[in-house]
Chains A and B, each alone.
Chain A
Amino acid sequence: MMKQYTRITLAVLLPCAVIAVVPAVRAQQTPAVTESDLRRMCTQAQGYLQTTVRSRDIRTRVDRLQAYQYISKRLDTFIRRLERHEQPRAEEMRKLTASLDRSIEDFKRHYEQYDVSRDRLAGLRNCQQQPAEFSKHLQRTRENLATVEKDTKIIDDLLAKDLPRELRQLRQELVAVEEGADDE
């Protein structure tokens, strides 16, 4: 009888303990930011934005943009060779690099929008007195940064997937042409 009661008790209490503990544990892992947190911490966040985030963003933007533009110019030279000698896949490659150039322009434009909104957020006066305004600016800055992140993802996909796929097909066709010429 006692063993049975023990089993029933455990069977009831254990799930209750899990249900009670898990939300508390999750709450500890991702604490929600309250208005009072914003009032207390917004100035510190602004300092961090103005110094660490800003300088890191500038470096990242310069390095990435330089790399993108360099890749684009080198690809352009390659495609001009294809076009000059009327070789296969020149048109497809040209379309891809045009897409790459458009994405690079989007990256530049959206980064500038993000840059402005980040600086506006960092320069917001008396954020302790206007946490709602701070929160609104923060949200807008995050949205702008998400757009920049999307642009870099598009460019990365072009460089890692679309262009190599096109180049491999070009290589196949060139090899086929060479083999056909050898047979003759």
Chain B
Amino acid sequence: MNSDQQQKPPEDKATEQPLEKWLNNLTLPRALALVIAAAGVLVLVGFSQYWNSENRKYDIARPGQATENKALDVTVTEEDIATPVDPAAVNDKLQFLEDEKAVLDSLNKLEVDNLSDQNLRLTPSQRPSM
């Protein structure tokens, strides 16, 4: 009786959808492999998003870890210092300093006013003016 109950009637098997059929035939090892593969895909997607993110540069390197920041990847070649400096090179350097200073000025400042009573919301609410 039980085995009859457990077996599906032939007409049900015929109308079984492919997905349903596949799921019914799924064994435990296959299911585990599937879950692990899905997890791996998620990790890859997440990691590639992180790798391509602009915010990656905010990661602080651990001690002993070489920095991979491209901005600091300035290697001096023999070509760079082969020729003497001329007035045009000095002009370039002056322009370089001006451009970098402009970038620095556009950044947030680390100043004491950032921790003023007003900015830290320590001041009482403004009383109505006279």
Is A44 in the interface zone, CB < 8 Å from B? yes
Q: Is the CB of A71 within 8 A of B97?
A: yes
Given B89, B96, B101, B122, which contacts A42 in the complex, CB threshold below 8 Å?
A: B122
Question: Which secondary structure characterizes the binding site on chain A?
Answer: helix
Q: Is the CB of A167 within 8 A of B93?
A: yes
A93, chain B: closest CB distance, angstroms: 10
Is A26 in the interface zone, CB < 8 Å from B? no
Is A13 in the interface zone, CB < 8 Å from B? no
Q: Report the tally of A-B residue pairs with Cβ distances under 8 A.
A: 149
B88, chain A: closest CB distance, angstroms: 9
- How many B residues touch the partner, as a band? 35 or more
Given A37, A142, A171, which contacts B123 in the complex, CB threshold below 8 Å?
A: A37
Is A73 in the interface zone, CB < 8 Å from B? yes
* Inter-chain contacts of A94 with B (CB < 8 A): none
**Whole-angstrom distance between the alpha carbons of A75 and B129 in the complex?**
55
Q: Is the CB of B96 within 8 A of A149?
A: no
Using a CB-CB cutoff of 8 Å, which residues 144-174 of chain A contact chain B? 145-146, 148-149, 152, 156, 159-160, 163-164, 167-168, 170-171, 174
Q: Is the CB of A45 within 8 A of B121?
A: yes
* Inter-chain contacts of B69 with A (CB < 8 A): 66
**Whole-angstrom distance between the alpha carbons of A168 and B121 in the complex?**
47
Given contact pairs A31-B123, A49-B120, A62-B58, A70 touches B110 in the complex (Cβ within 8 A): no
Given B58, B104, B108, B122, which contacts A41 in the complex, CB threshold below 8 Å?
A: B122
Given B76, B86, B100, B122, which contacts A174 in the complex, CB threshold below 8 Å?
A: B86
Q: Is the CB of A78 within 8 A of B101?
A: no
- Besides A56-B114, A174-B90, 8 more A-B contacts (Cβ < 8 Å) are A53-B114, A66-B71, A71-B100, A74-B74, A149-B109, A149-B111, A149-B112, A168-B90
Chain B residues with a Cβ under 8 A of chain A: 57-58, 60, 69, 71-72, 74, 76, 80-81, 83-87, 89-91, 93-94, 96-98, 100-101, 103-104, 107-112, 114-115, 117, 120-124, 126-127, 129-130
